Amino acid sequence: MKNILRPVLIVFGVLTLLTGVAYPMLVTGVGQALFPNQAAGSLILREGKPVGSSLIGQNFSDPGHFWGRPSATGPQPNNGLASSGSNQGPLNPALLDAVKGRADALRAADPGNAQPIPVELVTASASGLDPHISPAAAQYQVSRVAAVRHLPTATVQALVADATQRPIVGILGEPVVNVLRLNLALDAHSSHGDPN
């Protein structure tokens, strides 16, 4: 029995040290050395203090801020511990009611806006945490934000253009706008309020 147990315990100990200690330390060290911002959570700072992550959406409902995608992590929106989709299919009455309610809220916040509502403003992403919207979704909200903040439309459009992230190498992905970064830039142009 000793002859069998001893090699098993040695292999177990060596593998535990390699895969449970050495490998995680190596990966963590390389990540922090080569990608310090990402390893720290891709935090967005304002005045040296973290206000959010560029990877997790935040819930904005003030008409003077741009709104992101709805979150499916209820009851607390954009809860990273509850990341998941709603699992509601396109024929589910609950999804249809939620989309209608979100569309009604967008129309009520900007009754003069007759543009079609971009789909990502009324539907949640698969993770429920998406921090980005399309430039079209941001443009849809420009008139509302400009009116509430008493800013020229051209100023708000310029902020959207500055906040638009282009595809990697010009071809990988679609242009997107990080809602938190856009709202922070917007707050820098007026004293309307804090986006958090």
Residues 46 and 27 reside in one and the same domain: no
Counting the structural domains of the chain, the total is 2
DSSP the chain: -HHHHHHHHHHHHHHHHIIIIIHHHHHHHHHHHH-HHHHTT-EEEETTEEEEETTS------TTS---PPPSSTTSTT-GGG-------TT-HHHHHHHHHHHHHHHHHSTT--SPPPGGGTS--SSS---EE-HHHHHHHHHHHHHHHT--HHHHHHHHHHHEEPPBTTTBS--EEEHHHHHHHHHHH--S----
Residues 97 and 126 reside in one and the same domain: yes
Full pLDDT tens readout for the chain, 196 residues: 778 888 899 999 999 999 999 999 999 999 889 988 888 888 888 888 888 888 888 888 899 999 999 887 777 777 777 776 667 778 888 888 989 999 999 999 999 999 999 999 998 887 878 899 999 999 999 999 999 999 999 999 999 999 999 987 777 889 999 999 999 999 987 754 444 4
Residue 34 covered by a domain: yes
Residues 129 and 154 reside in one and the same domain: yes
Residue 146 covered by a domain: yes
Residue 194 covered by a domain: no
Residues 24 and 48 reside in one and the same domain: no
* pLDDT value of residue 196: 44
Query: What pTM value is reported for the model?
Result: 0.77
**8 Å CB contact between 190 and 151:** yes
Residue 196 covered by a domain: no
* pLDDT value of residue 195: 46
**8 Å CB contact between 71 and 65:** no
- What's the domain range around 118? 42-189
Residues 15 and 27 reside in one and the same domain: yes
Residues 52 and 71 reside in one and the same domain: yes
Residues 22 and 108 reside in one and the same domain: no
Residues 170 and 127 reside in one and the same domain: yes
Residues 59 and 109 reside in one and the same domain: yes
